[in-house]
Chain A
Amino acid sequence: MPLLPSVTPLKKVKQNGQPYARRGVIETALAQLISLDASELERRARVEQPDDSDYFPGECLIYFIREHYAAASAGQIVAKKIVNALSEVLFRRAVRKVHASLHYLPEQQRSDITSECMLALNELFFSNSTSLDYYEVNFNSALETLVIDQQRRQRNEAEMLSADPHESAAQEKTARNFQSDGLEGFVESSVEHSLRSPEQLLLQKEDVAKALSLLVFVNDKDREAWILRHMFDYQFQSNDPDEQTISKHQLVSERTARERVKRAEEHLEKLRSSPE
């Protein structure tokens, strides 16, 4: 017997007022999957090979967990069984994806961020957050957003603790362990897509490439100021109150902002010219 009458539309709307929609392939899959009973749904969810025609995309896992969560938390046995089975599959996939996407970090940090992301996913279901709509639109991108946001939060927390000399030493050690091989692909796309007016920049394309690879060795605040200036095209200060500037973002004077960018540039110059 089908468990759900029809596929529920998404609620979130874009900045321009357009509603978000699932991809056609997901809508088609959902239209077929809602007619399945609980045991078949579980069987399909456990199919691991993406090229198998019975494979259950992450977007669909999110949909069914959301739909059955309220009934599961009210103690309905079938709904609980579905939520448990599908959540375990979801977590297994998400853990592998998130952990793999953090392969440049030390193991402990990777595991910590991965665990935090899974708990954050749980919170979204628990609070019946409409943010889950984004996971039904594009599961991988939404998951990546969660990871980047988790890292952003950790970075902010680390900044607050940066007075701790042990912490700073650990960060420096991580930076020195950084491998810069295979950077070209990223740099190509950064330079092609991220710079609005490269001709206005002080650095040439190949300089940006080298600078990016060396940025990990630059002090956090100086590095941030350099990225704001050279990658996001931020001004040091502006008369436009709505424009984001380096001094506004870092809560410093224009002079300090200029000093930070200059210091980063000088540091990079030294690193470039020094032997390996």
Chain B
Amino acid sequence: MTTAQDTTMDLQSVLYEFRLENETVTPAALDTICRAYPHFAKDLTDFAIQWVLRDLALAGAPVETPIADAAVDAIVGLAMSDLQNRLYKREKEARSPVVLSSADEAEIRSRFKNIEMSPPIDRSIAASLQRKLVELETIPRRFLERLASAIKSDMPTLVAYLSSSSIVGGMRNYRADSAPQAAARMSYQDLVERSTLSQEKKDDLLALND
């Protein structure tokens, strides 16, 4: 884990911040946070309504006896099973990394042309992904899953492609004064922010972090 600060504010982060910074919903706090994150205003208002309704219900309902141990065991069992499945999946992926041949790479590269996926991406995003100019660890898993499906591939193959050396733009210039260097990679958020998509479409892509 690095210590670099994380300034990305996806919906989930905004909701946590709203709750952690306020003991109760106040019109002023709600107005402030909606103005700070206007693209999440509807979700924030919905969250505030749910918060108020929950407080109301909690104050009104009689306290009852705690949950039975058997019921706790059942839910914990489900959660532990989910945890094991996720660890196993990750372990399996780590143990058998996909190695792509140059022909495989070329094939995948070609599939980024005229790519269609939901939420939609523009040519600049597609080109940056095709040239592997995005930091893999910053890309939301949900985006990767949709991208893998859009290029008719699978997750391990896509991850192997995106994590291999980026495509160097200056390679064609055989008379360059210095040796070609891999281009710096950008974060997923920068990739989306720099695109030509409308703010609404950018928000849809950033919301995949939730």
Shortest distance between the CB of B106 and any CB in chain A (Å): 31
- Over the window 1-45 of chain B, the binary record of Cβ atoms lying under 8 Å from chain A Cβ atoms (1 yes, 0 no) is 111111111001101111111011111101101111010011101
From 96 to 139 in chain B, residues with beta carbon under 8 angstroms from any chain A beta carbon are: 137
Contact present for A101 and B47 (CB under 8 Å): no
Cβ–Cβ contact B60 & A183, under 8 A: yes
Nearest CB in chain B: distance from A236 CB, A = 15
Check A12–B71 contact: CB distance below 8 A.
no
Which residue of A151, A185, A196, A233 contacts B59 across the interface (Cβ within 8 Å)?
Answer: A185
Whether, in the assembled complex, B57 has its beta carbon less than 8 Å from a beta carbon of chain A, the answer is: yes
- Distance A125 CA – B13 CA, assembled complex (angstroms): 15
Q: Indicate if A167 sits at the interface (CB-CB under 8 A).
A: no
Q: Are A178 and B3 in contact (CB under 8 A)?
A: no
Q: Does B62 contact A88, Cβ atoms closer than 8 Å?
A: no
Q: Is the Cβ of B3 less than 8 Å from the Cβ of A8? A: yes
Is the pair B56, A215 in contact by a Cβ cutoff of 8 Å?
A: yes
In the complex, whether B152 has a CB less than 8 A from a CB of chain A is: no
Chain A 72-94 residues near chain B, CB threshold 8 A: 72-75, 80, 83-84, 87-88, 91-92
Q: Residue A36 at the B interface, CB < 8 A?
A: no
Docked CA distance A15–B38 (Å): 13
- For A17, give the chain B residue with the smallest CB separation: B7
Q: Once the chains bind, are B83 and A122 in contact (CB under 8 Å)?
A: yes
Contact assessment for A92 and B12 in the assembled complex, using a CB-CB cutoff below 8 Å: no
A95-B30 contact, Cβ under 8 Å, with A8-B1, A148-B19, A180-B60: no
Those of A167-203 within 8 Å (CB) of chain B: 178-187, 189-190, 193-196
CB neighbours (8 Å) of A64 from chain B are none
Cross-chain contact of A103 among B41, B46, B61 (Cβ < 8 A):
B61
Q: Using Cβ atoms and an 8 Å threshold, which residues of chain A touch B17?
A: 14-15, 134
Tell me if B50 and A100 are in contact (CB < 8 A). no
**Which candidate, A39-47, A136-144, A253-261, is the interface stretch facing chain B?**
A136-144
Task: Tell me the complex Cα distance, A149–B55, Å.
Answer: 14
Stretch in B74-82, B159-167, B168-176, B187-195 with 4+ CB within 8 Å of A = B74-82
Among residues 45 to 75 in chain B, which have CB atoms less than 8 Å away from a CB atom of chain A? Answer: 45-64, 66-67, 71-72, 75
Q: Shortest CB–CB separation between residue B182 and chain A, in angstroms? A: 24
> Which chain A residues in 98-115 approach chain B with CB under 8 Å?
99-101, 103-105, 111, 114-115
Interface pair A12/B3, CB less than 8 Å apart: no
Count of chain B residues with Cβ under 8 Å from any Cβ of A?
75
Q: Which residue of B lies closest to A11 (CB)?
A: B6
B87 sits at the interface (CB 8 A): yes
Q: Residues of B contacting A212 with CB < 8 Å?
A: 56
User: Which residue in chain A gives the minimum CB-CB distance to B9?
Assistant: A15
Chain A interface size, as a band, is 35 or more
Contact A190 B52, beta carbon cutoff 8 Å: yes
Whether the pair B26, A194 counts as a contact (CB closer than 8 A) is yes
- Which of the segments A24-32, A224-232, A265-273 contacts the partner chain? A224-232
| A96 lies within 8 A of B66 (CB) | yes
Query: Does residue B179 face the partner (Cβ distance < 8 Å to A)?
Result: no
Q: Find the A residue at minimum CB distance from B80.
A: A88
Q: Which residues of B contact A111 (CB under 8 A)?
A: 71, 75
Query: CA of A134 to CA of B52 in the docked complex: distance in angstroms?
Result: 21
A151-B54, A180-B60 known; A145+B20 contact, CB < 8 A: yes
Q: Are A193 and B91 in contact (CB under 8 A)?
A: no
From known contacts A180-B60, A189-B24, infer whether A11 and B67 are also in contact, taking CB-CB under 8 Å.
Answer: no
Return chain A residues, CB-CB under 8 Å to B53: 227
A155-B50, A179-B62 given; A228·B45 CB < 8 A: yes
Tell me whether A152 is interfacial, beta carbon within 8 Å: yes
In the complex, residue of chain A having the shortest beta-carbon distance to the beta carbon of B94:
A74
Task: Quote the shortest CB–CB distance from A253 to chain B (angstroms).
Answer: 17
Q: Inside 8 A of B9's CB, which chain A residues have their CB? A: 15
Contacts of B95 in A (CB 8 A): 75
18 contacts between A and B (CB under 8 A): A11-B6, A19-B5, A73-B86, A84-B84, A100-B66, A115-B78, A118-B76, A129-B12, A131-B16, A134-B17, A152-B47, A184-B59, A186-B60, A190-B24, A224-B49, A232-B25, A233-B27, A242-B35
Q: 17 additional contacts, CB 8 Å, given A141-B20, A193-B26?
A: A11-B5, A14-B21, A83-B87, A88-B76, A91-B79, A92-B72, A99-B72, A103-B64, A115-B78, A145-B19, A148-B15, A148-B54, A155-B50, A181-B62, A190-B55, A194-B52, A231-B52
Closest 8 CB pairs of A and B: A186-B59, A104-B61, A73-B90, A118-B79, A233-B27, A11-B6, A134-B16, A145-B19
